[in-house]
């Protein structure tokens, strides 16, 4: 079933090191057969469970070393002559790929306990559409990384300060350490904390940036407007960066719409449909097009808890009086247009 798969290409894809052309090729292969899509999702999950990238590396060189290990192991293994059950072929294929990914991960990021001096470098964690990751830092800080996001942990993390840089969305549960402030840097603001739980959203393709505090206190300072004063946020409060760097504070804020995703909930509170579409694209890895720009102004109020993509799309279409047009060539792409009676 998977004989024609380019395993090296899949390895680059799941590790986030493929080109746009290669990404499109893998997606086309996955869309061609539900079994392909299922296998690809299993590989993504395997990669996330093993951890994310610590730094930019050469996947091609590492994969060549992995192939040598896999080939050597295959040559050493006994070859019993017996008929395999049909279901065992796929099981063995998945196990082989899981083993290959594990070896690839070990090649890319070997244990630092090698006795050799290494130059410290920043660690980079990334997620693609439809992926989430949990990151545990050495000080006990726990970070939930949302889909299509990038987090960079400074090489000197914990020495004088605990600096991280975020593009995308993440929720932070920061371990308390008064001697080493924790700072989240985005393109438009910096968040300073000592120990707390809060969410930050700062996607490169969105004009608004927000900070939502669930526990403790954080200090928010706009980076794009040096003359602006910082704001102290307490639990239950939210701040947005709008316009030329002004901070807009909500007291109290409806935090569920901003951090509910960390517990499997997507919460929309009078959210414009154009923003809803962006969230669905990231969390479900689907392509959604609005047939008319004015549809983006419609507002949705709804909560979805651990709901599959097809169910969420059906409910939104019915609620917003939208007709769904599916792409025959790409089952993950739909167009929403108004129903005749809307």
Residue-wise pLDDT for 145-176, tens only, equals 999 999 999 999 988 889 999 999 999 999 98
Average pLDDT across the chain, whole number: 79
Report how far residue 26's alpha carbon sits from residue 32's, in angstroms, rounded to the nearest whole number: 10
Count of Cβ atoms closer than 10 Å to residue 224 Cβ? 15
**Residues contacting 196, CB < 8 A, separation 6+:** 172, 174, 213, 214, 215, 216, 217, 218
Comparing CA positions, the residue from 295, 330, 326 lying closest to residue 313 is: 326
At residue 11, what are phi and psi to the nearest 5 degrees?
Answer: -65, -40
Q: Do 128 and 45 touch, CB atoms closer than 8 A?
A: no
Domain range summary for the chain, segments of one domain joined by +: 7-78+85-108, 123-257, 264-338
Q: Which of the four pLDDT bands, split at 50, 70 and 90, describes residue 17? A: low
What average pLDDT score do residues 174-188 get? 91
Q: Which of the four pLDDT bands, split at 50, 70 and 90, describes residue 105? A: low
Residue-wise pLDDT for 284-319, tens only, equals 999 999 999 999 999 999 999 988 999 999 999 999
Q: Do 123 and 54 touch, CB atoms closer than 8 A?
A: yes
Residue-wise pLDDT for 310-319, tens only, equals 999 999 999 9
Which CATH number is 264-338 given? 3.55.50.30
Q: The pTM is what?
A: 0.64
Express as a percent the part of the chain with pLDDT over 70: 71
In CATH terms, 123-257 corresponds, of 1.10.10.10, 3.40.50.12780, 3.40.50.720, 2.60.120.1440, to: 2.60.120.1440
Whether residue 13 is predicted with pLDDT greater than 80 in this model: the reply is no
Per-position DSSP letters for 138-183, written without gaps between them: TTS-EEEEPSS-EEEE-TTTTTS-EEEEEEEEEEEEPPP-TTS-EE
Residue-level pLDDT at 342: 66
Residue-level pLDDT at 59: 44
């Amino acid at each position: 079933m998977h004989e024609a798969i380019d395993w090296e290409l899949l390895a680059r894809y799941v590790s986030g090191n493929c080109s746009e052309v290669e990404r499109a090729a893998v997606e086309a292969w996955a869309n061609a057969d539900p079994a392909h899509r299922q296998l690809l999702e299993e590989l993504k999950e395997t990669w996330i469970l093993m951890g994310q990238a610590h730094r930019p590396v050469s996947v091609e060189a590492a994969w060549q070393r992995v192939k040598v290990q896999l080939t050597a192991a295959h040559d050493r293994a006994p070859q019993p002559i017996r008929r395999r059950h049909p279901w065992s072929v796929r099981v063995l294929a998945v196990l082989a790929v899981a083993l290959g990914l594990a070896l690839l991960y070990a090649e890319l990021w070997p244990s630092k306990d090698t006795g050799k001096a290494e130059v410290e470098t920043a660690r980079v964690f990334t997620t693609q559409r439809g992926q989430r990751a949990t990151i545990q830092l050495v000080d006990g800080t726990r970070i939930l990384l949302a889909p299509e996001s990038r987090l960079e942990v400074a090489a000197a993390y914990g020495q004088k300060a605990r600096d991280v840089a975020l593009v995308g969305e993440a929720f932070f549960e920061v371990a308390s350490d008064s001697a080493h402030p924790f700072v989240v840097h985005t393109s438009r603001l910096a968040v300073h904390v000592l120990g707390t739980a809060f969410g930050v959203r700062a996607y490169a393709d969105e004009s608004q940036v927000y900070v939502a505090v669930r526990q403790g206190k954080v200090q928010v300072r706009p980076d794009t407007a040096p003359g602006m004063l910082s704001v102290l946020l307490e639990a239950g409060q939210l701040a947005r960066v709008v316009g030329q760097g002004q901070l807009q504070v909500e007291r109290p804020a409806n935090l569920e719409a901003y951090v509910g995703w960390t517990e499997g909930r997507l919460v929309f509170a009078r959210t414009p449909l154009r923003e809803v579409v962006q969230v669905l694209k990231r969390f479900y890895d689907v392509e959604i097009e609005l047939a008319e720009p004015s549809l983006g102004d419609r507002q949705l109020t709804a909560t979805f808890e651990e709901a599959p993509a097809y169910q969420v799309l059906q409910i939104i279409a019915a609620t917003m009086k939208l007709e769904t047009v599916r792409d025959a060539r790409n089952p993950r792409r739909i167009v929403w247009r108004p129903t005749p009676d809307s």
